Structure 1
Amino acid sequence: MEQNRQYTVKELIGRFLPYFKPYYKTLCLDLFCAALTTICEMILPLIIRQITNTALQDIALLTVRMILGLGFLYFVLRVIDSIANFYMADMGHVMGAKIETDMRRNAYAHLQQLSNTYFNNTKVGQIMGRITNDLFEVTEFAHHCPEEFFIAGIKIIVSFIILAGIHLPLTVMVFVFVPIMTVVCRIINKKMRSAFIDQRHQIGELNAKIEDSLLGQKVVKAFTNEDIETQKFEEGNQKFLGIKSYTYRLMGLFSTSTRVFDGLMYLTVIIGGGFFMKYGVILPGDMVAYVMYVSALIATVRRIIEFAEQFQRGITGIERFVQIMDADVEIFDEPDAQDLENPKGEIVFDHVSFEYPDDHNTVFHNLNLKIRAGEKVAIVGPSGGGKTTLCNLIPRFYDVSGGKIILDGKDIKKLTLKSLRRSIGMVQQEVYLFSGTVFENIAYGKPGAAYEEVREAAKRAGADEFIQNLKDGYDTYVGERGVKLSGGQKQRISIARVFLKNPPIIILDEATSALDNESEYAVARSLHELAKGRTTLTIAHRLSSIKNSDRILVLTEEGIVEEGNHDQLMERGGIYCQFYRMANEIK
Structure 2
Amino acid sequence: MKAKAFDIRLFKRILEYTKPYKMRFNGVVIFAISLSIFAALRPYLLKQTVDGYIQTEDSHGLLGYIALMGIVLLLEVFSQFYFVYWANWLGQDIVKDIRIKLFKHILSFRMKYFDLVPVGQLVTRSVSDIEAIARIFSQGLFMIISDLMKMVVVLGFMLYMNWKLTWIVIIAMPILVFFTRIFQRKMQVAFEEVRTEISNMNTFVQERVTGIKIVQLFNREAIESEKFKGINNKHKTAWIKTILYNSIFFPIADIISSLALGFVVLYGGIKILNGDHFTTFGDLFSYTMFIGMLFNPLRQIADKFNEMQLGMIAANRVFEILDTQDQIQDTGKKVAPVFEGAISFKNVHFGYIENEEVIKGIDLTVNAGDTVAIVGSTGAGKSTIINLLNRFYEINSGTICIDNENIEEYTLDSLRKQIGVVLQDVFLFADTIYNNITLNSSAITRDQVYEAAKEIGVHEFIMSLPDGYDFDVKERGVMLSSGQRQLIAFLRAYVSNPSILILDEATSSVDTYSEELIQKATETITKGRTSIVIAHRLATIVNADKIVVMDQGLIVEQGTHTELINKESGYYKNLYESQFNNNLTQN
TM-score normalised by length of structure 2:
0.91
What residue in structure 2 maps to residue 249 of structure 1?
A: 244
Q: Tell me by how many angstroms 1:495 deviates.
A: 0.2
Match of 2:13 in 1: 15
Amino acid at match of 1:83: F
Q: Does 1:142 align with 2:142?
A: no
Deviations 1:65-107 (Å, cap 9, x if unpaired)? 6434433432221222222222223333222222222222222
Distance 1:388 1:107, change over 3 A: same
Partner residue, 1:35: 33
What is the aligned partner in structure 1 of residue 551 from structure 2? 556
| Cα distance in 1 for residues equivalent to 2:51 and 2:150 | 23
Map Cα deviations across residues 333-383 of structure 1 (whole Å, 9 max, x no partner).
22x5221123222222233222226x6532224333332222222222222
Q: Alignment partner for residue 97 of structure 1, among 92, 96, 104?
A: 92
Q: Which of the residues 302, 306, 326 maps onto 1:305?
A: 302
CA distance, structure 2, for counterparts of residue 260 and residue 564 of structure 1? 88
Moved more, 427-436 or 129-138: 129-138
Matches within 5 A, 1:120-131: 120-131=115-126
Structure 2: tracts of 5 or more residues without a match: none
Greater alpha carbon shift after TM alignment, 183-192 vs 461-470: 183-192
Distance (whole Å) between structure 2 residues aligned to residue 449 and residue 260 of structure 1: 70
- Partner residue of 2:460 out of 449, 465, 473: 465
Q: CA RMSD in A?
A: 2.6
In 2, the alpha carbon distance for the partners of 1:259 and 1:493 equals 66
CA contact (8 A) 2:18 2:25 kept: yes
Which TM-score applies when normalising by structure 1? 0.91
User: What residue number does 1:350 align with?
Assistant: 346
Aligned equivalents of 2:506 and 2:391: distance in 1?
20
Task: Report the 3-state secondary structure (helix = DSSP H, G, I; strand = E; otherwise coil) of the residue aligned with 1:342.
Answer: coil
SS at match of 2:349: strand
1:362 match: secondary structure: coil
Instruction: Identify the range of structure 1 (504-513 vs 138-147) with the bigger mean alpha-carbon deviation.
Output: 138-147
Deviations 1:174-224 (A, max 9, x none): 324434533432333233233223323323333333333333333333333
Q: What pairs with 1:498-517 in structure 2 (closer than 5 Å)? A: 498-517=493-512
Contact 1:30–1:92 (CA under 8 A) maintained in structure 2: yes
The one of 327, 331, 339 aligned to 1:330: 327
- Aligned partner of 1:583 among 572, 579, 584: 579
SS in 1 for 2:566: helix
Residue 236 (str. 1) matches residue 234 (str. 2)? no
Contact 1:254–1:305 (CA<8 Å) still a contact in 2?
no
- 1:319 and 2:316 correspond: yes
Q: What's the secondary structure of 1:318's corresponding residue?
A: helix
Question: Which residue number corresponds to residue 276 of structure 2?
Answer: 280
* Structure 1 residue aligned with 2:74: 79
Give 2:390's aligned amino acid: P
Deviation by residue 1:491-522 (Cα, 9 ceiling, x = unmatched): 11110111100101111111112223443233
Corresponding residue of 2:337? 341
Asked if 2 retains the 8 angstrom alpha-carbon contact of 1:462 and 1:492, the reply is no
The CA distance in 2 between the partners of 1:178 and 1:489, in whole Å, is 72
Pairs aligned (count): 578
* Cα separation, 2, equivalents of 1:531 and 1:462: 14
- Unaligned 5+ residue runs, structure 1? none
Matches of 2:180 and 2:476 in 1, distance apart?
A: 49
Picking from 486, 489, 497, the partner of 2:492 is 497
Aligned sequence identity (%): 31
Residue 384 of structure 1 deviates from its aligned partner by 1.9
CA contact (8 A) 1:460 1:496 kept: no
The residue matched to 2:422 in structure 1 has which SS?
strand
User: CA 1:347–1:273 in structure 2 vs 1: closer, same or farther (change >3 Å)?
Assistant: farther
Distance in 2 separating the partners of 1:172 and 1:351: 83
Q: Structure 1 residues 121 and 73, CA, compared in 2 at 3 Å: closer, same or farther?
A: same
- Hey, what's the Cα distance between the residues in 2 that align with 1:578 and 1:257? 81
Q: 1:267 Cα shift?
A: 4.8
